[in-house]
Structure 1
Amino acid sequence: MLQDASIAEKARPALAFAFGPFGIEKLFAAADTARLKQACRMPGELPIGDFSTAAARQILADAEILVTGWGCPMIDAAVLDTAPKLRLIAHAAGSVKHFVAPEVFERGVVVTNAADANAVPVAEFTLAAILFANKQVFRFRRDYTSKRSFIGVSQQYEGDAGNWEKRVGIIGASRIGRRVIELLRPFGIEILLHDPLVDASEARRMGATLVPLDELMKSCDTISIHAPLLASTRGMIDAGMLARMPDGATLINTARGGIVDSAALEAELVSGRLWAILDVTEPETPPVDSPLYTLENVLMTPHIAGAIGCERHRLGRLVVEEIERYLAGEPLRHSVTIEGLLHQA
């Protein structure tokens, strides 16, 4: 009986983790870790942070499944040579573009990721940002804090703050951009969309009107960026595009800072003409003397729109489900192709 149990244990595929520097519990709830342990052997329960060590090579030599996350080292031909049994890379985060080399796909290793799960909190963050921006919450907070007395806004205000029949611009029909459009449906908001890979009929099916970028920039009081950072999109929102935005408009960026001309945006914000909600910047952390930290017309957060805290377990759950499909011989729902990487951030 003991021998039979040993044979059965060895028959289960070996699973390794590669990310860090944080523990498995950051990405996987206890119940999901238990599901992985039931389905797989785990020769090393601590995530690998360096593939070059002897301990890492020993684990990789037996691994059929590699669960990756933020901070995973590059997986290239040399790493693959140490992992001859590797058949599946399951990434418990978004894009794999920066650590999965082309050789992974060339050798037939299947890759899946949790980008769809990570899109949920980004879209939720964006929805909140759009609704607050249209309501001019930050402007009213500034005025209220300055005057420190109730100013009877609801009865006396004659401006156009609010969300009813407002026009919002979405740049990029990515998985996040599409989800934001879906979340905006109940609010009576008109949505303009710019994406060169989408045609007018597809935009209409999403509930948006497809327009050129310059038209979107000049027609919307709130604009949210959801495009990938590619050679063709770097600096796409330049000084000229920013100049087209109406006075008092708000730019929201939860995508990549490099899509916007940083110097041009800073100039507009310092002038006070525009407002911005920035979860990403270029560079990722602005210099310590950057005015973005103190401008009253800027809300800047440290790349938190994606999964943080308890939201990370949504990513882990998706990966567990993908691994269970793989082991059952079922098609994966979130597989990644090398062609698809060309359009990822």
Structure 2
Amino acid sequence: MSPSPRPTAALAMSRRAAEAVLEPSVLEALADAVSLQPPPVLGEFSTERARSVLADAELLVTGWGCPPLTAEVLAHAPRLRAVVHMAGSVRGHITDACWERSIDVSSAAAANALPVAEYTVAMILLTGKRVLESARDFRAARAEVDWSRTPREVGNYRRTVGILSASLVGRRVLELLRPHDLRVLLHDPYVTADEAAALGAEPVALPALFARSDTVSVHTPLLPATRGLVGRDLIDAMRPDAVLINTARGAVVDQDALTEAVTAGRIRAVLDVTDPDVLPPGHPLWSADNALLTPHLAGSQGNEWRRLADAAVDEVRRWAAGDGFAHPVDRDRLAYLA
């Protein structure tokens, strides 16, 4: 069924998400494209108001904290034809029932990939130069540093960077690394050698990625098949003083094996995600000098939320005009997307 001349849309996300992404100008832009149900947003689907809103909704604009769109929920939304997600992954709320109803789905995952990739490239370059350690030592010494004693392995000239998975983020990282004098390796079983070359990387097997890289950056989605993918054998194979960067999901990495390698001083780590997220207060990684833990900040934050909102507004406009989505989510490719 095609959208009506002015389709009815509703907002479904947590209150915190709404406060972050739904600026007044965003709501105005959405209301220009569709007949938008006014806030408050739907934070749950079981209330009388929620069911009343769902009964008329042809489009849902969702965000972080949107409850799952189960078959029971969809039974109260007979006119629903599309979902535009104002964030990245849709795994938390798009269920099999949505695909079985042939509901069109769009996501701002491509927009959210940009700041994650920027964070990753910044950390690749900073750790290659050992900036964080040097700043810490400089603060402690408060004296001139003898630059001539810098070890030969410090720096980013022809440093080898390994990218685990050519996901949306992984591909953006590869693109941003192109101007730098780095050797780039890629492991992704779904990418051919020619495709890897086009991305500016040398395709390698998983063990080789870890054994040959000075820095390994993880961009693999968390799936049953990838849980613990970066296990003890791969971590043990990393070069001394190599860096593991993880901006994907903590459970992709064997947390115990990583902790042992880091606290032993054998490798370094930059972790925007851990398993669990957040680590217990007494966890040894908190106090490890060669580990940097950040609070899941690589993804969109602050003014970057507006990029997500703008991407979603563009998709709403396209769908309302009958043009289809520019960034549709394909059910068959969900298993390969971070």
Separation in 2 of the partners of 1:189 and 1:236? 25
Is 1:33 the counterpart of 2:23 in the alignment?
A: no
Separation in 2 of the partners of 1:31 and 1:52? 29
Q: Secondary structure at the match of 2:15?
A: coil
Q: 1:25 Cα deviation (Å)?
A: 4.9
1:159 corresponds to which of 143, 152, 155: 152
- 1:126 alignment partner in structure 2: 120
For the 8 Å contact 2:273–2:296, the answer to whether it is kept is yes
Is 1:194 the counterpart of 2:194 in the alignment?
A: no
- 1:244 alignment partner in structure 2: 237
Output one character per residue of 1:120-168: Cα deviation in whole Å (capped at 9) or x when no partner: 0000000100000111112212322333322122x33242211121110
Is 1:92 the counterpart of 2:86 in the alignment?
A: yes
- 2:103 alignment partner in structure 1: 109
- 1:5 alignment partner in structure 2: none
Counterpart residue type for residue 291 of structure 1: P
Q: 1:11 Cα deviation (Å)?
A: 5.9
Larger-Rg structure: 1
Separation in 1 of the partners of 2:38 and 2:27? 13
Is 1:176 the counterpart of 2:198 in the alignment?
A: no
Q: Secondary structure at the match of 2:88?
A: coil
Separation in 2 of the partners of 1:158 and 1:290? 31
Output one character per residue of 1:47-79: Cα deviation in whole Å (capped at 9) or x when no partner: 111100001111111111100000000101111
Counterpart residue type for residue 70 of structure 2: D
- 1:65 alignment partner in structure 2: 59
**Which range moved further: 38-47 or 131-140?**
38-47
Output one character per residue of 1:243-266: Cα deviation in whole Å (capped at 9) or x when no partner: 111111110000011111000001
Q: RMSD of aligned C-alpha atoms?
A: 1.5
Q: Secondary structure at the match of 1:12?
A: coil
The runs of 5 or more residues in structure 2 that have no matched partner are: none
**TM-score normalized with structure 1 length:** 0.94
Q: Secondary structure at the match of 2:207?
A: helix
What pairs up with 1:200-219 in 2 under 5 angstroms? Answer: 200-219=193-212
Separation in 2 of the partners of 1:31 and 1:244? 51
For the 8 Å contact 2:167–2:336, the answer to whether it is kept is no
What pairs up with 1:251-270 in 2 under 5 angstroms? Answer: 251-270=244-263
**TM-score normalized with structure 2 length:** 0.95
Separation in 2 of the partners of 1:218 and 1:132? 21
Separation in 2 of the partners of 1:316 and 1:94? 11
Q: Percent identity?
A: 43
Separation in 2 of the partners of 1:23 and 1:283? 22
For the 8 Å contact 1:23–1:47, the answer to whether it is kept is no
The runs of 5 or more residues in structure 1 that have no matched partner are: 1-9
1:271 corresponds to which of 253, 256, 264: 264
